[in-house]
Structure 1
Amino acid sequence: MSVKDLNVIRQEIDQVDQELVALLEKRMALVSQVAAYKRATGKPILDTNREDAVLQKAASRVEDKAFEQTIVNTFADIMKNSRDYQAKQLDNDLA
């Protein structure tokens, strides 16, 4: 088995990062819609049942189980940042 050149690996990471940014932007646009819904209905930002379900679903989709905990942690971070964004959106509406 040959070892890839570090620059080639980094180029591949850069490509994946580009795809991730586009997907995260799509996700955040949906999070904005969630914030608007919660604002309109008075629902709380944190829904632990939903977050638990998302984390379980993410774990079940990981094929290489060596990556499972890291990927689940990443999803937990994404959701925390999404909650923070929602809170800022709701705070801006109140200001």
Structure 2
Amino acid sequence: MDLELIRQEIDMIDAQLVALLEKRMALVSQVVAYKKATGKAVLDTSREQIVLEKVASRVVNKEFEETIVATFSDIMKSSRAYQSSKLA
């Protein structure tokens, strides 16, 4: 496979990831509304740990596990920042 074909495949996957991240953030918006109504804190470390453990367990190629878990950690960090901005 040549580099241009590989990059085209990456671009297609990136488009799918963007769509999925938008769906995830729409759900995060619902979480914000819930937390606002109930006074819950943005950070729930036990929930985040559970999510990261699930992510790690779903990685088939363990060579990628650390990177994928770090990516999800970054996603949750960005989600917390979004939540904080909406709750301020």
The TM tier, using the shorter chain, reads over 0.9
Displacement over 4 Å in runs of 4+: none
Structure 1: segments with no counterpart, 5+ residues: none
C-alpha RMSD of the superposition: 0.3
Q: Aligned equivalents of 2:61 and 2:45: distance in 1? A: 26
Q: What percentage of residue pairs aligned between the two structures are identical? A: 68
Residue number among 67, 72, 85 corresponding to 2:69 in the alignment: 72
Q: Paired residue for 2:14? A: 17
AA aligned opposite 1:76: S
Q: How many residues align?
A: 88
Higher alpha-carbon Rg: 1
Q: Aligned equivalents of 2:2 and 2:25: distance in 1? A: 34
Residue number among 58, 82, 85 corresponding to 2:82 in the alignment: 85
Q: CA deviation at 1:15?
A: 0.2
Structure 2: segments with no counterpart, 5+ residues: none
Q: Which whole-Å deviations, capped at 9, do the CAs of 1:7-56 have from their partners, x for residues lacking one?
A: 00000000000000000000000000001100000000000000000000
AA aligned opposite 1:56: E
Q: Aligned equivalents of 1:76 and 1:17: distance in 2? A: 18
- Compute the TM-score of the two structures, normalised by the length of structure 2: 0.99
